[in-house]
Structure 1
Amino acid sequence: MPDTFYYTRCPAPTSTGVSAGLGILQERLAGLGLRPQALQDVEDPEILRHHFEHGIPNLLREGGNIPPIWARANGARTRLLGITWLDEFQAVLVRADAPAQTVADLAGKCFAVPQSTGHRLDVARITALRGIAQGLRSAGLTVADVTLVDAPPQAVALGARGKESFDAELALLDAGAVDAVWVKSAAGAAAVRSGRYRVVLRIDRLADPLLRVNNGTPRTLTFHEDFIAARPDVVRDVVESARRAVDGIAQDRERLWGILARETGQDPADAATAFEAFTPDNLIPDLTPGRLAALQDQADFLFDQGFIPKRVDVSEWALDWRDL
């Protein structure tokens, strides 16, 4: 087993990101005889691609659930050690001067959908399609009731944790080429703060938790089976220290928003708006029945829509770190 241990997370709130932001993750890995290395600081594309594919054993990944579900469906030998559920800002936006007041008013209208290049898994596109479908579903509509308009392709580097953006979709909205866009997180909050757009639906505030499910709700923490077998002590320590890191900073909201802003590449004020639902439990990895059920709902959506080649059974994938 290599001495270098890679950790990777998405530009989103994660327990790993909080732990790394406080220096705890790096300190714990070094104390266990490993050389900690953020995957995003690596230049080798053969290593970087494992942010999505998770084909190397010496890697932990935490973040959006689409890549790990996709990797598992494509044969990656990973195990699910934890799930977090921090509802982030998710909204359907129209122009500020648009007549639409509700999602139901958007029947027969056009939604922008992003396109990404640089990897065979277009996470941004799948996420937007899921968000649009969830928003329409809340009003008794389906994607068949609207027209999807492709935004110009945007290059996404392998393993990138760069600033999340909805610029391509919002440009279509500004130009009148579409009637609505789906946005999320701090970047979505920033768009609303600009005053150019109006929210017709806050998906993250819907009462039914399954209507809030998307790539970032819930998020997953995964390790490779080979590493778990070789170093269960590291796995236990990393997960436990990440849980303690979140709990320890929970009351210092200013510092927390600063860390989440760095993780998302956004302004701290937008991070505070996007993740206003934060409580310590939201960001502590666990395998509660509700979180497992939500992740299964997402996995089934990906399979039903043809985004993954086979169904992923989340209960079989899950492994409680306390049993190691």
Structure 2
Amino acid sequence: MTAVLKKGNTVPLRWDEVYYTNCPLVSASNVDQELGWTREEYKKIGVEYAFLRSRRENDWYPHYIHNLDNLIRFGGLFPPIHVHADIRRTRLLGATHAPHEGGCMLVRARDDIYRMAELKGKKIGLTKSLNTIKNDWWRIQEEQGIELMLRLNGLTRADVEIVEFPYPDDWYDKPEMLDPMNNPSELWLRRDHKHDLAFRPLETALEQGLVDAIYTQSKPFQHLQEATGKFKAIEDLSRYPDWTLQVANIPAVITCTDEMADKHPELVLAFMKGMIKVGRWANANKQAAAAILDRQTFYLDADDTYEGIKHIDMVPNLSPQNLASIEIGKHFMLGHGYIENNFDVHQWAAPEFLEQAAKELLEEEWIRRSTAKLPEGTALEVTATRLG
């Protein structure tokens, strides 16, 4: 565990700095990186808030193994489960679920295959990262989705041939990937990520006939791949009413280290206040939020992004259903050997930070609105005033 945490490069720890990292998916953090509202919350307490990769000293590994104490991560579910189970203790602060993106089974568009039953005896691709430091999050969702789609159609893994595609997955500390960037969007400005096959490694294998089917995410990725005219989906978990099928590296979750939560809870509160404010704005302005998210995510375009997020609550929460979804993901990882140690998801959750952040925002809004209509110098202007 100690050896893993020492792997990679990070800045020296300073508690007057907080770094964030996120995945290119639906979250308030991906909207906030354009709005900057969370940075304002940190400015109020004299703390610098910056993207993980804004400093050359930081490589990409903290995003996956959380080896930076003053880092807050908002991203896919499987890496933080791996971290909390096997690497270091963290706190689960909130979650945002996309409850209709369980995954699809793609085949070639002109193949004479229209049902999952017709995949019996055929080949399904499965990636395998050779990087032993980080979690193989893409393979986990592939394997989980494949098994679910087979089962729903009366098949098992024994009825198909699973073909593995190992790849190095070793770009995390390469010099060409370590040029500083102030915003995660800068990464996507440098490459056409919606058409970059580096993010869809099995697509070429399917097109070339090395396999007959592959897993892909429902809606993001799926629509990009179908738009090529080369592929079609013959099964889609998002079309089922069963919400327990929709855990494909989601919900996206917010995590911080135990050290940050215990020693500097004000840093956690600042982040959660920012996420609540941005999430509320995104809920009220879904078209605008979709235009922002389209720059980073893998939906087909801004309109497709809007269709994907219009029913998603962008304010992070720790609802019973979200915690149950997280438990489903953890259970699969444990049962398939992706983590070694079990843990209690409800004990991992730290709802007190979300609750306190919401309370403080409500009080601040009450003070702001009240003082606008009262004489100067009232007690309401004292920031220490507690109203409840």
Please give the secondary structure, in 1, of the residue aligned with 2:313: helix
Alpha-carbon spacing, 1:139–1:243, altered in 2? closer, same or farther (3 Å): farther
Name the counterpart of 2:50: 37
RMSD: 2.4
Instruction: Work out the number of aligned pairs and report it.
Output: 320
Larger radius of gyration: 2
Deviation at 1:275, TM superposition (A): 6.3
Name the counterpart of 2:165: 151
TM score, norm. by length of structure 2: 0.75
Compare 8-17 and 281-290 and name the one that shifted more.
Answer: 281-290
Candidates 92, 95, 105, aligned match of 1:80: 92
Question: Aligned equivalents of 2:300 and 2:134: distance in 1?
Answer: 34
Deviation at 1:80, TM superposition (A): 0.3
Q: What runs of 5+ residues in structure 2 fail to find an aligned partner?
A: 1-13, 178-183, 188-192, 357-388
Alpha-carbon spacing, 1:48–1:169, altered in 2? closer, same or farther (3 Å): closer
Candidates 252, 256, 269, aligned match of 1:219: 252
Deviations 1:50-93 (A, max 9, x none): 11111322111011111100000114120101111113643111
Please give the secondary structure, in 1, of the residue aligned with 2:125: strand
Alpha-carbon spacing, 1:322–1:127, altered in 2? closer, same or farther (3 Å): closer
Name the counterpart of 2:366: none
Q: Could you tell me whether the CA contact under 8 Å between 1:151 and 1:172 is conserved in 2? A: no
Candidates 330, 339, 343, aligned match of 1:299: 330
Candidates 37, 47, 58, aligned match of 1:24: 37
Please give the secondary structure, in 1, of the residue aligned with 2:150: helix
Q: Could you tell me whether the CA contact under 8 Å between 2:104 and 2:237 is conserved in 1? A: yes
Which one scores higher on RCO, CA 8 angstroms, separation ≥ 6?
Answer: 1
Please give the secondary structure, in 2, of the residue aligned with 1:316: helix
Question: Aligned equivalents of 1:180 and 1:269: distance in 2?
Answer: 21
Alpha-carbon spacing, 1:57–1:152, altered in 2? closer, same or farther (3 Å): closer
Candidates 300, 306, 313, aligned match of 1:282: 313
Amino acid corresponding to residue 147 of structure 1 in structure 2: E
Alpha-carbon spacing, 1:207–1:19, altered in 2? closer, same or farther (3 Å): same
Deviation at 1:5, TM superposition (A): 0.7
Question: Aligned equivalents of 2:301 and 2:159: distance in 1?
Answer: 32
Deviation at 1:288, TM superposition (A): 0.8
Q: Could you tell me whether the CA contact under 8 Å between 1:111 and 1:148 is conserved in 2? A: yes
Please give the secondary structure, in 1, of the residue aligned with 2:74: strand
Candidates 191, 198, 214, aligned match of 1:181: 214
Alpha-carbon spacing, 1:53–1:156, altered in 2? closer, same or farther (3 Å): same
Alpha-carbon spacing, 1:289–1:43, altered in 2? closer, same or farther (3 Å): same
Deviations 1:204-243 (A, max 9, x none): 222111111121x211111111111222233223213212
Alpha-carbon spacing, 1:154–1:120, altered in 2? closer, same or farther (3 Å): same
Name the counterpart of 1:102: 115
Please give the secondary structure, in 2, of the residue aligned with 1:236: helix
Question: Aligned equivalents of 2:306 and 2:141: distance in 1?
Answer: 18
Deviation at 1:271, TM superposition (A): 5.6
Amino acid corresponding to residue 153 of structure 2 in structure 1: A
Amino acid corresponding to residue 263 of structure 2 in structure 1: A
Deviations 1:260-288 (A, max 9, x none): 12222x4x644643662424653321111
Amino acid corresponding to residue 84 of structure 2 in structure 1: R
